Chain A
Amino acid sequence: MNVLVAVTEAAVPDDEFEINGTEIDEQYLTYELNEWDEYALEEAAGLAEAHDNVEITTVTVGPERAEETIRKGLAKGADRAVRVWDDELAAVDLLAPATKARLLAGVAAQEEPELILAGAQSSDDSFGATGVALAAQLGYEWAAVINQLELDNDRGVATVHRELEGGVEELTEVELPAVATIQTGINEPRYASLRGIRQAQRKPLDVHTPADLGVESVASPLSLSELVEPESESNVSLFEGGAERTAGELAGVLREKGVEA
């Protein structure tokens, strides 16, 4: 069984940063394996341990820089990786979920996975949409924001729990093949072992252009006309000074509010 995991690299700004045009200045960004995708990867690795003949492929739409992150995925148990990129993509300032889904679908069409895992959201763009858009592209069934997944290959279904609002979970059965978007907490992501990290260097990482995948246009219907640090409507009173002083002042306010042992 082929399992495809969509893995993205999330841009994380420093505590203090500057914006140039519609982008955060590169020097203030670090790139990390998207938190939700760590859980998706772990879920795939768990399936590979529980079932025979599971092959895990990761797919990433991203620049060469992303290969470091992609290798992390390989170190955590993926067998192969595919990266999609070209200059035209690099020029797009905001990749719409549908555009990404079209590219991911191009890769899925080659791999024909029984199951595709994506994160419930990326921590930078946070569209929360790419996984379900991918399912729609492929005509696969899907389930969004899941925190439990069981495969029943004999019946050709996946049983999932969807994490709804207010501490309620929805229990759902979806037919395979399917896309599941993974919520944090579904498992405990492993740390990559030294052996895993070494092996990852030798695992295949193929690079395709959109054209290779038969995707002719990567034009995105969305673009960013402005990016700002949100104007704070905050009325916060900040206590300043060393910890003893700030803690003392805060304690004074809290006591006024009736907090006491």
Chain B
Amino acid sequence: MSADVLAVAEHRRGDLRDVSLELLTAGRELADETGGDLHAAVISGDVEAFGDRLNREGVDAVHTVAHGEEFNHDVYAQAVTTLIDEFDPAYVLAPNSVNGFDYVPAVADRLSIPLVTDVTDLAVDGSELTATREFHGGKTEGTVEIAGDRAALTIRAGGWPAASGNGDATVEPFEVEIDESAVRSTVTGFEEVGGGDVDITDADVLVSIGRGIREEDNLDLIFDLADAMDATVSASQPIIDNGWLPADHQVGQSGKVVTPEVYIAIGISGAVQHVAGMKGAETIVAINDDPSAPIFDIADYGIVDDLFEVVPALTEEFAG
């Protein structure tokens, strides 16, 4: 059986997002296993320029759907549904991103195809597809068997290398008659999350605090440590959600991407959305009392212990 794959790219405010090229690699691997073709599609924005960039080695066809500038989930859902009707791919790949969350489940539902999100690996055995993904915040990993011969899959960013090389795909416009009466949402603009006076992306040393700190008053421990080390304080999302630090201190997918020389994660579990923002740090240190916390998978140095013991001792080392 040969089964085709459709990879739907993502872009925002004029830029093709990196994960779009990673999708192509995942898509090519899958198409190789099924003996099928890899189609790429891009919807809205400067589709011609995006289409050319998607024309990488291993891509058999690129479909460009011109309609508006930015992502709109109603438009995407209609366009992808129409693309699937026309090209009949067995597997549809999209990024596991906030916009992926916003239209892929709708497409899967409309076409009654199974959906697996946040996939980190794929394998085909005969005509059966299995997808690997994390459960329990990364503490377990499961192999998901998908019944039937179709699936929609969202792909974890960074899970595959970006596709490279120039392709010889046909890059062609694909006309989709968008039913405007079914477009019942309007994107009215974008807003950057407020800037404060600290730029955590500038820091050489970040002392980053997570929910393990438990109470706002305990943050003093962290400020003392940062003072003693001449470091800057950053945080995981729950700390920002609680209003304990300003939003521009947040590290991660919806916060900032930081690449300091040293990143000290204290009481942070290492959820994928956090790691997305700090895995590029030169040296990663984790202080966490849970030995199975995923943060230890990416840390260079670690202490498995109570932060309320370790942090004051570490402050002492530098202050003393």
The answer to whether A238 touches B303 (Cβ under 8 A) is: yes
The answer to whether A243 touches B300 (Cβ under 8 A) is: no
- Which B-chain residue is minimally distant from A130 (CB atoms)? B105
In the complex, which residues of chain A have a beta carbon less than 8 angstroms from the beta carbon of B290? Answer: 15
The answer to whether A170 touches B261 (Cβ under 8 A) is: no
CA–CA, A163 to B228, complex, Å? 35
Query: Does A19 sit at the interface, judged by CB under 8 A?
Result: yes
How far is the CB of B289 from the nearest CB of chain A, in Å? 8
In the complex, which residues of chain B have a beta carbon less than 8 angstroms from the beta carbon of A172? Answer: 185-188
In the complex, which residues of chain B have a beta carbon less than 8 angstroms from the beta carbon of A135? Answer: 106
- Residue of B147, B148, B319 with most chain A CB atoms under a 10 A cut-off: B147
The secondary structure that dominates the A interface is mixed
How far is the CB of A218 from the nearest CB of chain B, in Å? 14
Query: Does A225 sit at the interface, judged by CB under 8 A?
Result: yes
How far is the CB of A40 from the nearest CB of chain B, in Å? 14
- Which B-chain residue is minimally distant from A131 (CB atoms)? B105
Segment with Cβ contacts to B, from A68-76, A80-88, A197-205, A253-261 = A253-261
How far is the CB of B114 from the nearest CB of chain A, in Å? 4
Within 8 A of A (CB), among B232-284: 237-238, 240-243, 247-248, 250, 253-257, 261-262, 283
CA–CA, A95 to B71, complex, Å? 29
The answer to whether A97 touches B185 (Cβ under 8 A) is: no
Interface residues on B, range: 35 or more
B190: contacting residue among A96, A171, A185, A254, CB under 8 A? A171
In the complex, which residues of chain B have a beta carbon less than 8 angstroms from the beta carbon of A253? Answer: 301
A136: contacting residue among B106, B139, B299, B313, CB under 8 A? B106
CA–CA, A236 to B296, complex, Å? 7
Within 8 A of B (CB), among A158-175: 161-175
- Which B-chain residue is minimally distant from A184 (CB atoms)? B241
The answer to whether A128 touches B101 (Cβ under 8 A) is: yes
How far is the CB of B244 from the nearest CB of chain A, in Å? 11
The answer to whether B106 touches A236 (Cβ under 8 A) is: no
15 CB contacts below 8 A, A to B, read A133-B115, A141-B185, A144-B102, A164-B98, A165-B98, A167-B256, A173-B188, A222-B114, A224-B144, A230-B139, A246-B303, A250-B303, A251-B317, A259-B262, A261-B229
Q: Report which A residues bind B (CB closer than 8 A).
A: 11-13, 15-17, 19, 22, 24, 94, 96-98, 101, 120, 123-133, 135-137, 141-145, 161-175, 181, 183-185, 188, 221-230, 232-240, 242-244, 246-248, 250-251, 253-254, 257-261
